Structure 1
Amino acid sequence: MQLITNAKILTDGHLKQQDILIDGQYIKQVGDKIIPAEGVEVIDADGAFLSAGLVDVHVHFREPGFEYKETIATGSRAAARGGFTTVLAMPNLNPVPDTAERIKKQIVLNKAHGVVNIEQYGAISSNLISEEISDIRTMSNEGAIAFSNDGKGVQTADTMLHAMVAAAQVNKPLVAHLEDNSLLHDGVMNSGKIAEKLGLPGITDLAESAQLARDLVLAKATGVHYHVAHISTKESVALVRIAKREGVKVTAEVSPHHLLLSDSDIHSDNALFKMNPPLRSQEDREAVLAGLIDGTIDMVATDHAPHGTEEKSVSFKEAPFGITGIETSFQLLYTHLVKSGMITLETLIQRMVNAPINAFQLEAPTKIADGQIANMALFDIDHKSTIKVNDFESLGKNTPFIGWEIYGTTLATWVEGKIVYHLKP
C-alpha cells in the first residue's frame, strides 16, 4: 500500500488538500487525514496538485521502423514524465499497422515496452496512401482504438466516404489529418508575410479547411464519429462550430504549439518551428484558443513527433515536419493559460483528461476518488522551472520551447498504482 499525504485535488472546481490511500491498482480511500497502517509507504506531496492521469490521443512513438527518432520505451517514459498515463499511438510506422495481423503485433509490442497505457490506431488505408480502405472491421476486432492516416490527408472523397461507413459500423472514431495535396505546392510553413520575408514556400490554410468542409458533409451523411486532428485555422474552427450545431458527431483537438505560437514567432530559418499543420497567423492562434475555451475544440493533443537532431538541424526546406511535446504540454498550458487567468485549472484538466476519455470511450479514470484505478500524476504548480533539453526522456529534442520558464513540473506519475516516473532530486 501507498499513502500520499498533503496532496491538492480538484473538488467541485476548487483545490482541496487530501490524503490518498492506494491499495494495489486502485485508490482505496480519499480523506482529510488518513492514519497509515504499519508497513504502508508514505509519500508527502507537500501541497502539490494530484490529478487523474493525463490522456493524449495523438502521439508518434516511431517503433517499428524509425527507432533512431523514438522507441516505445523512450516515448512512454516521456509520456510519464509529462504526467500522461494513457496515449493513443499513430500508425505511421514501418510496417504500417494496416491489417489485423499487424495491429495485433503492434499492440503486443506496445504492451511489452510501454510504461504507460498505449492504445493503437489502425491505418485507414494500406500504407497510409492507398485509395482502397483497410479491413477496418478485422482491425477493430483485434483492438484498434480508432483509424487514421495521420501524416497523410485522404485525398479522395470516395475513399473517405467508404472509410467513414466502415468506422461507423464498428463504432470507432475516424481521425483525419487534413491536407489537400493539390494545395500544398511544396510549402514548408504558413503562407503569408513571414514566409515571404524568409523566402520560404508557404502552405495555404485552405489545404486544411477545404478538406475539412468535405469531410464534415460526409460525416453528417454517415453518422461516423469524426475527429479532427491538430486543428489550426480560424476557418476550421468555424466549420466545426457550425457542424456541431447541426448535429454532426464531430470532435476536435488542438496542439499546445498552435495555442501558444504563431508564424510571427518564426524569426529565422529555424526548423524547430517546422510542424504540420504549420504555425498559423496570430488571428488563427486566437481562434483556436477561443475554440478551446468555448468547447468547440474538445481536447488538447500533443502530436508528439520526435526526430533525430541532425534531421532538424537543417533548413525548413529540408527538415521533416514535427516537434516533440508530451513532456511539456501540461506545463506550458498551465503556465500560459491557467496562471494567466485565461482558463481555469478545472477546464484544462477537462480538456486533457475527461474529454479524450469520453470521446474515445477509454477505460481510464477521470478523477481522484475511492475505487478508481490509480492512474495519477503529481504536479508542482507553485514553483518555477525551465525547460531543459537534457531533462528529456524522449530521444527527440526537437522543440522550440527549450529555455521557456514553466510551472507544473511533474513530480511523479502512477499507472495502475505503480510509480512509473519520479522526479530525481
Structure 2
Amino acid sequence: MTLLFTNARLIDPEAGTDSLGAVLVQNGHIAAVDKTVTDPDQLFRTRNIEAANVTHIDCSGRCLAPGIVDIGVKVCEPGERHKESYKSAGLAAAAGGVTTMVTRPDTTPAIDSPETLEFVTRRAQADTAINVLPMAALTKGREGREMAEIGFLMDAGAVAFSDCDHVITDTKVFSRALSYARSCGALIIAHPQEPGLSKGAAATSGKFATLRGLPAVTPMAERMGLDRDIALLEMTGARYHGDQITTARALPALQRAKANGLDITAGTSIHHLTLNELDVADYRTFFKVKPPLRSEDDRLALIDAIREGLIDTISSMHTPQDEESKRLPFEEAAAGAVALETLLPAALRLYHADQLDLPTLFRAMSLNPARRLGLSCGRLATGAPADLVLFDADQPFIMDRFALQSKSQNTPFDGQRMQGRVLATYVAGEPVYRRD
C-alpha cells in the first residue's frame, strides 16, 4: 500500500520540530518526508509514482507523529486472561496510538522460560495487529533467588529482563545477573525501590497520608534503591533502565550516574506526570498505583527532568485490575491502572499546560524507547517503519471508562475532561485503528 499524508502537522522528535508537511509511505516504510510540498502530483512525478495507485489522506492540519513505543505493558496472559488478553490489549493500544508494546513478565506463572515466552509470542502474533516485544523475568519465578536462562530467553525473543516490582533483595544474585547480562548485551529493566521501606505502603509519606491514616513510604526509599543499583552498575558495567523514577530525591543520583558514563536510562509513568497524591482524595482506589502518587513538587520536578532529557521515557505502566480487586479498602486494594488508551490524551495535558511541547513528548514516548531497545521505529525519517499515529491535539471529550477497549476499566481518568484524540493508527503503513 502506498499512502500520502498531506496537510499534516508533522511532529518530529528526532529533529525537534513541529511543522506542516507531507509524508509518503511505500512498502511499510516512510519513503519521503517533505515539509515544503504543496502539490502532491509533483511529489509523485519526482518518484515515478502513479497517482491512481496512491491512497491520499488529507490530515487537515492535524498531528502526524511516530507511533508510541510503550515499555512496561502488563498483558495478563498466561494466568489472568479475564483482566486483559492480547486481543483486548492490542485493540486498546491501537486506539491509543501505541504501535509497539513492550510487555512485562509479571504474569501467572512468570515468563521465565523459553517455553512460556514462545507461548505469549504466539498469542501476541495471532491476536494483535501491533508490534509486541516481550520482556522476560530476570530470576526464576521473579523470586530473586536463581537467575533465569538469559541467553536462551534472548534467543527466544526477549528484548529485556525484569523482575518488575519484585525487587531482588539478594545483592549477590543481582550483581551476578547484571554481570551475565552484560556479557550477553542484555538490557536490565529494574524497579528502583528499597523493598523493606516500601513494603505494604499505599501512599507517599507526608501530611496527606497521615491525615488519611494510610500506610506510607518515604521518597527516600526510591533514592536508596536507585543508589544501590547504580553502585552495582559501576561494578558490572551492565545496560540498565529504571522503569519508574517518581521522586525529586532520586534525580541527582540519576544525573551523577549519567555524568559518570554509566549505561543507564530511566523512565516514568504518565500517572506520576499528570496526577499527585491529593488525587486519592476520599480513598479512590483507581488512583492507587505503584509506586504511590507523589507530591506536586515531585510531579513538577519530573516534568523538568523530561524537558531536560534526564528522564528518557514516558510509559503507560498499563496494569489491568478487575473490579473485585479494586472495590476494597484503599490499603487492601490492588495497585495499578490501565493506560494504553489514556496515555496520549493524558500526556497532551502537559502540552496544553505549556509544560512540554509535542516533539519533547514524542521524544520520550516514541524515539527514546525505540533507541533504548535498538529499534528503528519512533522516527519521522526516510527509511523508518511507517508506524504512525494521526491525532487531533485539541479535540475535547469526557473520558468514559466503559468505552475503553481494555477488559479492565480501572482508569483514574474516568469522568475527567480530556483534550486530544487519536484519529488513526498505522503499523507498517497498514491502518490498525480508525476513529469513526
Establish whether TM, by shorter chain, passes 0.5.
yes
Task: Tell me by how many angstroms 1:228 deviates.
Answer: 0.5
| 1:282-333: CA deviation from partner (whole Å, max 9, x where unpaired) | 2222222222121111110110111112321222122111011121112222
Matched, 1:341 2:347: no
Q: Which residue of 2 aligns with 1:373?
A: 385
2:210, 2:7 → 1: CA distance? 54
| 1:334-364 per-position Cα deviation (integer Å, ceiling 9, x unaligned) | 22x2222222211111111111111121232
Matching of residue 421 in structure 1 with residue 420 in structure 2:
no
Whether the 8 Å CA contact 1:270–1:315 is kept in 2: the answer is no
- Tell me, yes or no, if the aligned pair for 1:126 and 1:132 is still in contact at 8 Å: yes
Of the three residues 210, 221, 229, the one matched with 1:215 is: 229
Give the conservation status (yes or no) of the 8 Å contact 1:75–1:394: yes
Equivalence for 1:386 = 398
Partner of 2:376: 363
- Which deviates the most, 24-33 or 285-294? 24-33
Shift of the 218–14 alpha-carbon distance from structure 1 to 2, 3 Å rule, reads closer
- 1:26 deviation in Å? 2.2
Structure 2 partner of 1:295: 309
Q: Paired residue for 1:2?
A: 3
Q: Which runs of 5+ in 1 are unaligned?
A: none
The SS at the match of 1:165 is helix
Q: 2-side partners of 1:338 and 1:282: how far apart?
A: 17
Contact 1:152 1:179 in 2 (8 A): no
> What does residue 113 of structure 1 align with?
127
- Please name the residue that 1:304 is paired with: 318
Q: Give the match for residue 185 of structure 2.
A: 171
Q: Within 2, Cα distance between the matches of 1:141 and 1:327?
A: 31
Q: How does 1:123-142 map to 2 (within 5 A)?
A: 123-142=137-156
What is the correspondence of 1:2-401 to structure 2 with a 5 Å cutoff? Answer: 2-10=3-11, 12-31=15-34, 32=37, 33-35=39-41, 37-335=51-349, 337-367=350-380, 369-401=381-413
Distance 1:151 1:375, change over 3 A: same
Q: Alpha carbons of 1:233 and 1:8: their partners in 2 closer, same or farther (altered >3 Å)?
A: same
Corresponding residue SS for 1:78? helix
Q: Deviations over 1:36-73 (max 9, x none)?
A: 72253333222110011111111101111111111111
Letter in 2 for 1:127: G
Distance 1:349 1:39 in 2: 31
Equivalent position amino acid for 1:385 in 2: F
Would you say the 8 A contact 1:91–1:150 is kept in 2?
yes
C-alpha deviation, 1:206, in angstroms = 3.1
Alpha-carbon RMSD:
1.7
Equivalent residues of 1:124, 1:136 under 8 A apart = yes
Q: Unpaired runs of 5+ in structure 2? A: 42-49
With structure 2 as the length reference, what TM-score do the two structures score? Answer: 0.92
SS in 1 for 2:118: helix
Aligned 8 A contact 1:194 1:266 in 2:
no
- Is the partner of 1:41 in helix, strand or coil? strand
How far the C-alpha of 1:112 sits from its partner, in A, is 1.7
2:324 corresponds to which letter in structure 1?
E
CA contact (8 A) 1:338 1:344 kept: yes
Query: What amino acid is aligned across from residue 271 of structure 1 in structure 2?
Result: T
Equivalences, count: 422
Alpha carbons 2:194, 2:224 under 8 Å: kept: yes
How far apart, in 1, do the equivalents of 2:394 and 2:331 lie? 41
Offset of residue 105 of structure 1:
2.5
Q: Secondary structure at the match of 2:135?
A: strand
The answer to whether the Cα contact below 8 Å between 2:104 and 2:135 also exists between their aligned partners in 1 is yes
Q: 1:187 to 1:382 in 2, by over 3 A?
A: closer
For 1:296 and 1:66, locate their aligned partners in 2 and report how far apart those are by CA, in whole Å.
Answer: 36
TM-score, length of structure 1 as denominator length: 0.94
Cα pair 1:4 1:44 within 8 Å, conserved: yes
- Displacement of 1:365 in angstroms is 4.2
Deviation at 1:195, TM superposition (A): 1.6
Deviation track 1:360-379 (CA, whole Å, cap 9, x = no partner) reads 21232411x33332110001
Paired AA for residue 304 in structure 1: H
The answer to whether residue 411 in structure 2 is matched with residue 410 in structure 1 is no
